[in-house]
């Protein structure tokens, strides 16, 4: 049944509008502009045509079958419209309107009636109080998609409508993540995280799953599904409502009774999911996992033009379970020509002397490639500065070529420099590799990748034996 949300052959937009700024206008425009190839049925009781498409005064008047219906109407009309969906044989419904369980009272009763109708008629429902779905194939979101939606390998599942839509807009416009789908699930009256986790766990296009939840619908089922899914692809998990204040906010936001931190942490440990602490990490971890090969160990080379940065990164690596081993004698020998005679390379690898001697681009071709070729190294952290001398390797895509050649993960951190150069590094290099403006964030993200890789390697070894 999940297929009807993501690959419908027809969609009805109930509350479609021709007035810019209206939610029904934006949603319909997004569906028209994406790669959806099925039939589109705008439903508006006062219009004969909406955005150039013939409109219908009610869903009952639509001549063809309707796989998916999107509600953009007041909550008070939702029950009657759901009854019409049942009569029409609609397979799936997304209710993007607000005014249900999250407001209590009559809203809660309306939501319960909708669920009863859906269950009696085998209709699956996402929402209410959500911002819909964003994907190349079908985009029902109530926020404008101002650029072509990617067809990538990351799925984001969010209980927050604004967050999910805001993330999608940022990703699409700024090309910050190779997204496949963004799903806002709101109050979770029917479809919940377990349904979507199971569906995307079996989806060949999906390689990384990120989730933000304010409560867990069924903890036992989540553990069962997440164990299976996390064994074959990374599942990144951010739980809101871990504190008393957060739990209170969750109740007013989506009407959810927040799951306790103990329950959530236990589920993460048992399943192998990757815990994120905030929304930035949810995105950062997804970027690292979706762009970098998974290592089998946690041995890291730090490559930097500033010795002080190397010291700080070394401290951070140790705090996050990463090891900085010595480079092999063969690697040191291969690098000796670009280092001072009495100062052989070490780990961290200090590039300063080499940069002054031959420039950053040629330096990277030797002193980044050398450690990555070293059998003692599983991954690398490269520190770049936002100055003009950094532009040559950015223009020549030197780091990307080296990364591809050696097949080991690289994260880039930026600290000092001029914004115009820092922005170029972040935007151009960030299209292919994870780029961080914080040492802490970069090290932590890499540590999660290495931790996952070690766990996967152990699992594969056990299976072989």
**pLDDT tier at 251, thresholds 50, 70, 90:** very low
Contacts with 267 (C-beta within 8 Å, 6 or more apart), sequence order? 216, 219, 222, 223, 226, 273
d(CA 314, CA 259): 36
Q: Do residues 125 and 115 touch, judged by C-beta distance below 8 A?
A: yes
Q: In angstroms, what CA-CA distances link 363 with 313, 352, 355? A: 20, 9, 6
Task: Give residue for tokens 């929304």.
Answer: 279
Question: According to the per-residue pLDDT averaged within each range, which of 39-43, 421-425, 453-457 is highest?
Answer: 39-43
Q: Write down the mean pLDDT value for the chain.
A: 91
Which residues make Cβ contacts (< 8 Å) with residue 39, sequence separation at least 6? 9, 10, 11, 64
Paired tokens of 87: 């009569």
Token readout for 108 is 């809660």
Q: Provide the sign of the torsion angle of the four alpha carbons 375, 377, 379, 381, taken in this order.
A: negative
**pLDDT tens-digit profile of 393-445?**
999 999 999 999 999 999 999 888 899 999 999 989 999 999 999 999 999 99
Q: How far apart (Å, rounded) are the C-alpha atoms in residues 327 and 312? A: 19
The CA distance from 131 to 127, in Å, is 8
- What is the structure's pLDDT at 62? 97
If phi > 0 it is left, if psi is from -120 to 50 it is alpha, else beta; for residue 51 that is left
User: What predicted TM-score, i.e. pTM, was given to this entire model?
Assistant: 0.90
Q: Return the H-helix or E-strand segment holding 158.
A: strand 154-158
Residue-range domains of the chain with CATH = 293-461 (3.40.50.261)
Radius of gyration of the chain (CA): 25
Mean pLDDT, range 299-306, rounded to an integer: 93
Share of the chain above pLDDT 90, in %: 75
Q: What is the pLDDT of residues 374-392, one digit of tens each?
A: 999 999 999 999 999 999 9
> Does residue 234 surpass a pLDDT of 60?
yes
CA-nearest of 351, 347, 295 to 324 is: 347
For residue 249, pLDDT beyond 60: no
């Amino acid at each position: 049944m999940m297929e009807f949300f993501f690959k419908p052959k027809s969609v009805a937009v109930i509350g479609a509008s021709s007035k810019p700024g209206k939610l029904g206008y934006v949603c319909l425009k997004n569906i028209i502009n994406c790669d959806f190839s099925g039939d589109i049925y705008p439903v508006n009781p006062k219009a004969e045509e909406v955005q150039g498409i013939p409109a219908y005064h009610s869903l009952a008047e639509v001549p063809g079958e309707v796989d998916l219906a999107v509600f953009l109407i007041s909550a008070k009309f939702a029950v009657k419209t759901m009854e019409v969906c049942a009569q029409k044989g609609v397979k799936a419904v997304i209710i993007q309107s607000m005014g249900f369980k999250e407001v209590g009272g009559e809203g809660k009763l309306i939501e319960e009636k909708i669920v009863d109708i859906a269950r009696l008629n085998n209709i699956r429902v996402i929402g209410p109080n959500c911002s819909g779905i964003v994907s190349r194939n079908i985009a029902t979101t109530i926020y404008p998609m101002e650029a072509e939606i990617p067809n990538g390998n990351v799925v984001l599942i969010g209980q927050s409508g604004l967050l999910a839509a805001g993330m999608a807009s940022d990703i699409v416009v700024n090309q910050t993540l190779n997204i496949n789908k963004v799903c806002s699930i709101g109050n979770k009256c029917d479809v919940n995280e377990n349904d979507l986790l199971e569906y995307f766990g079996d989806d060949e296009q999906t390689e990384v799953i990120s989730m933000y939840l304010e409560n867990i619908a069924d903890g036992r089922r989540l553990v069962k599904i997440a164990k299976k899914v996390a064994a074959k692809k990374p599942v990144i998990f951010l739980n809101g409502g871990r504190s008393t204040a957060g739990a209170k906010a969750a109740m007013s936001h989506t009407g959810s009774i927040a799951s306790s931190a103990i329950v959530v942490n236990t589920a993460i440990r048992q399943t192998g999911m990757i815990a994120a602490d905030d929304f930035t990490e949810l995105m950062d971890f997804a970027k690292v996992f979706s762009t970098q090969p998974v290592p089998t160990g946690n041995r890291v080379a730090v490559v930097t033009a500033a010795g002080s940065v190397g010291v700080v990164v070394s401290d951070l690596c140790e705090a996050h379970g990463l090891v900085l081993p010595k480079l092999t004698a063969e690697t040191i020998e291969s690098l000796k020509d670009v280092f001072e005679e009495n100062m052989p390379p070490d780990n961290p690898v200090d590039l300063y002397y080499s940069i002054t001697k031959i420039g950053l681009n040629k330096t990277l071709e030797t002193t980044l490639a050398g450690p990555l070729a070293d059998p003692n190294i599983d991954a690398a952290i490269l520190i770049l500065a936002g100055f003009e001398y950094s532009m040559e390797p950015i223009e020549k895509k030197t780091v990307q070529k080296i990364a591809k050649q050696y097949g080991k993960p690289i994260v880039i951190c930026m600290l000092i420099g001029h914004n115009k150069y820092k922005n170029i590094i972040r935007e151009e290099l960030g299209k292919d590799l994870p780029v961080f403006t914080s040492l802490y964030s970069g090290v932590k993200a890499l540590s999660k990748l290495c931790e996952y890789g070690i766990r996967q390697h152990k699992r594969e070894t056990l299976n072989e034996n």
